[in-house]
Amino acid sequence: MAGRITVAPVAQNVFAVSGNPMLIAAPSAGVDAAGAGGTNFATAWGANSGIQFINNGSIMLYFWNGAASSAMRILVGRKVAGQLPIFSYNDITIAANSSAMFGPWSVLDYTQQDAAAYGGTTAPGGNNPNGAIGAAGVGFMCIDFTVITNLSVRLIQSTDVTS
């Protein structure tokens, strides 16, 4: 069963305006797990096909996808009356040769509260390709992907603008 890589976001305000190293410049598959923010960032997916991160309500996910279409499943964590809602995930199609940015997300709705969630057909949230949240995923936001062969992802921490 596949797992999830814990990811740190890249701070949005640490880059020069003239370049854009926040975004992925090369189609190398992998995850910017350390939040390095450079163009040579990719940590191989390995046996993993998902990511998890501390969601503070101002993080966005940037992806670049190559020749094979994919999908991402954003797992809902908020329980209602002690149970995950019937629609406990958001599926988003990722077209081949595309890139996009998603987020930010609600901290209350997407932070995982149940280690057994998404563990099987009868578990909270039902069956998920990457399996249960597990103890290591509680307190994180989890996003799983169906095809990672040519997929690169990076989290970007947005900054507040004050005057």
Band (pLDDT 50/70/90 cuts) for residue 27 is low
4 and 72 Cβ atoms separated by less than 8 Å: no
Question: What's the structural domain count of the chain?
Answer: 1
Alpha carbon distance 89, 79 (integer Å): 12
Cis peptide before 104 (omega within 30 of 0): yes
Q: How far apart are CA 35 and CA 5, in angstroms?
A: 12
Cα–Cα nearest to 35, from 3, 70, 60, 66: 60
Cα-Cα-Cα-Cα dihedral sign, residues 126, 110, 148, 101:
positive
Give me the domain span that covers residue 44. 3-157
Note whether residue 148 is domain-resident. Answer: yes
Q: Residue 162 domain-assigned?
A: no
163 assigned to some structural domain:
no
Contact assessment for residue 24 and residue 69, using Cβ atoms and an 8 Å cutoff: no
Label residue 163 by pLDDT band (50, 70, 90). Answer: low
Residue 111 lies in a domain: yes
pLDDT digits (tens, 9 = 90+) for 52-106: 999 999 999 989 898 899 999 999 999 888 888 877 888 999 999 998 999 999 9
pLDDT digits (tens, 9 = 90+) for 127-146: 887 889 999 999 999 999 99
